[in-house]
Amino acid sequence: MCRQLGIEVPVVQAPIGSAATPELAAAVAEAGGLGTLALTWVSAPEAVRRIRQVRRLTSRPFAVNLVLDFPVEELVEVCLAEGVPVISTFWGDPSAVSARVRPAGAVHLHTVGSVAEAECAVAAGVDVIVAQGCEAGGHVRGEVSTMALVPAVVDAVHPVPVIAAGGIADGRGLAAVLALGAQAGWLGTRFLTACEAATHEVYRQAVIGAVSQDAVHTRCFDGGWPDAPHRALRNSTLSAWEAAGRPTAPDRPGEGAVVARSADGRAWARYQDMVPVPGMSGDLEALALYAGQSAGLVHDIAPAGRIVADIATRAAALMGRAPVNSASP
Ligand SMILES: Cc1cc2nc3c(=O)[nH]c(=O)nc-3n(C[C@H](O)[C@H](O)[C@H](O)COP(=O)(O)O)c2cc1C
């Protein structure tokens, strides 16, 4: 699968929403992994700008992620027109995208949370399945853990390659999912504290300070993306909502209150689907702090290239192999 994607090490920087910058995707690509932009919520011109920015920073392959619960047809066309080599999709039926991506010669990855969903994706023509365990950060598709889901999906879709997502933060996790039959690891939470990620210091320190139990599976932060379970760090918003008995909108504590503003003045209300990014001001701790159980394994802020190299080197050593990445120390 690495050959198919044109990468050297089986490490994928997951799409992590607004935190996924061109600089992050390019740094991961330069280290031999697959970097990903998350472009669902940007305009077509902004998507073009970010894709070209990655290209300016690296000549290596990278991916663009689109969430199918939103209207992304125009963005698919933009990606294909720009020659994006890998398109990743999540949350929905991938058939329409697959029908466009395959003739264009790009590789189509689709994230699933169950064996049934994986089988549907393969029938739809998807090239690579991303099996996301429920310990993952951000929006969580299924109810099964990575350890149980990955081998079941590998068996069900063989010979279609599978990437494992959820709970992987270091070389031990990568070696483990490779042993389960996955061909790469897909890491989101680990890259939240990469130097190149667009994560505010408040968010980074929350991830670094968290233990795994702090990453709660919930429906609390539903503003902008309703009916989509997700995993986020326990914070003042989540605690107050739980203490109130988890009431439904609009009867939640502090409903509608503006808790933070972007540098351009854009207001963000409590319960909105937005993480703290650089330049924001306000009560940033109260925003959605999406992160997975692997937050308990993230202890530092580091350049993305070093994160990739460390994971690849450690996994290779555990598996009794020399690292295949020329960029590794
Ligand atoms: C802050 C954040 C934002 C995310 N945004 C997206 C997204 O836009 N598209 C997507 O397919 N997955 C998204 N995810 C899920 C990741 O792609 C991935 O499945 C997950 O992070 C893997 O689990 P881990 O966090 O334990 O590494 C997001 C995850 C996080 C933590």
2-196+299-318 falls under which CATH superfamily? Aldolase class I (3.20.20.70)
Residue of 73, 1, 77, 90 lying closest to 38 (CA atoms): 90
Task: Dump the DSSP string for 155-214.
Answer: HHHTTS-EEEESS--SHHHHHHHHHTT-SEEEESGGGGGBTTS---HHHHHHHHH--GGG
pLDDT tens digits, 107-155:
999 999 999 999 999 999 999 999 999 999 999 999 999 999 999 999 9
Omega into 278 within 30° of 0, i.e. cis? no
pLDDT class for 324, splitting at 50, 70, 90?
Answer: low
Which residues lie with the beta carbon below 6 Å from any ligand 1 atom?
14-17, 19, 38, 40, 65, 67, 90, 111, 132, 135-139, 165-168, 186-189, 275, 290-292, 294
**Stretch 276-286: mean pLDDT, rounded?**
98
pLDDT class for 321, splitting at 50, 70, 90?
Answer: confident
Residue-range domain boundaries for the chain? 2-196+299-318, 201-295
Q: How far is the CA of 188 from the centre of ligand 1 (A)?
A: 5
pLDDT tens digits, 225-248:
999 999 999 999 999 999 999 999
* Residue 231 phi, psi (nearest 5): -120, 125
Q: How far is the CA of 13 from the centre of ligand 1 (A)?
A: 9
Measured over all CA atoms, what is the biggest interatomic distance in the chain, rounded to whole angstroms? 57
Q: How far is the CA of 16 from the centre of ligand 1 (A)?
A: 5
CB 68: neighbour CB atoms within 10 A? 18
How confident is the prediction for the chain on average, in pLDDT?
96
Residue 322 is predicted with a pLDDT of 64
Q: Name the 3-class secondary structure at 267.
A: strand
Give me the percent of the chain exceeding a pLDDT of 70. 98
Q: Ligand 1: which of 13, 16, 50 to mutate, judged by most atoms within 8 Å of the beta carbon?
A: 16
**Can you tell me the distance from the alpha carbon of 76 to that of 282, in angstroms, rounded to the nearest whole number?**
35
Q: The tokens of 318 are what?
A: 């555990």
Q: How far is the CA of 50 from the centre of ligand 1 (A)?
A: 19
pLDDT class for 329, splitting at 50, 70, 90?
Answer: very low
Q: How far is the CA of 81 from the centre of ligand 1 (A)?
A: 25
Q: Ligand 1: which of 108, 139, 275 to mutate, judged by most atoms within 8 Å of the beta carbon?
A: 139
Nearest protein CA to atom 15 of ligand 1, as residue: 138
Query: Cα 185 to the chain's mean position, in Å?
Result: 11
pLDDT tens digits, 165-196:
999 999 999 999 999 999 999 999 999 999 99
**Stretch 293-304: mean pLDDT, rounded?**
98
